[in-house]
Amino acid sequence: MKGMKERLAKKIKLITIVSTFKQGLAHHKSKIDRTIHHIRDEIVAESGQRRGCVTPTLEDVEVSEQEHDLEEEEEEEREILLEFEENCPPGGEDSVVFYTTGLRGVRKTFEACRRVSFLLENHMVKFKERDVSVDSEFRDEMWRLLGRKVTSPRLFIRGRYIGGADEVVALNENGKLKKLLRGISRAHSPCESCRNERFLICSSCNGSSRLMADDEETSNGNMWTRCRECNEKGLVRCPLCT
């Protein structure tokens, strides 16, 4: 009986020792954790004072990553743009200029123009469409830019000559056209002025392209004089989209 009491007393003493040891470990770990956090806070505070900065939050990190991605995209866009010849049409420094034709006389040319126009509309970007069949000045402008008599379509992006229908279709298929058009203003609705017709009827001559001659010209036998406000078809360019 006495032996059992002694063994029981030893077990109770052992349990007490183990419990005290665990408490000591927990207390020691707590002190270490507090020391680590204290040192870290001191380092962060010192770094912030020295560099004039604060600890970045998760939102700051996300914004920084987005800005980095945007910079990479812009750099890639510039590299692609530099692959093309610098040749800027009037008003095309930071926009898309598209020389096209609405005449169906040459089916191949008309369909090529429609393909390029479809791609630009599909990417939903604003572009300045210049129909060489409606205004001969657009045709002469296109020939002057390219140094020879060429047929439409011809596409220019941000002052760079991109090419004709074959080149534009190929760029669209390899994904480069989308990158070239990145940053161009979006087109969410038809032009408010001309409804995407690109031309308006001349208000001076009502589309006739001629006016009554003044007294001096009438004395020379001319009843009519050419309207100087419009083209040969009595149309003026839309001021918003051409």
| Crossing angle of helices 165-173 and 107-122, rounded to 10° | 30
Burial of 138 (0-12, 13-18, 19+ CB in 10 A): buried
Reported as half-sphere exposure (CB side, CA atoms, 13 A), residue 227 has a value of 19
What confidence score (pLDDT) does residue 66 get?
66
Order across the sheet with 85-86: list the strands: 85-86, 160-163, 154-157, 96-100, 128-131
What confidence score (pLDDT) does residue 93 get?
92
Give me 240's structure tokens: 């918003």
CA 144 to the chain's CA centroid: 29
If we measure between CA atoms, which residue out of 147, 121, 150, 136 comes closest to residue 241?
Answer: 121
Q: Can you tell me which residue has the tokens 């390029």?
A: 116
What confidence score (pLDDT) does residue 45 get?
63
**Entry pTM:** 0.63
Residues of the chain with pLDDT under 50: 49-52
pLDDT tens digits for range 102-138: 888 889 999 999 999 999 999 999 999 999 999 999 9
What confidence score (pLDDT) does residue 221 get?
63
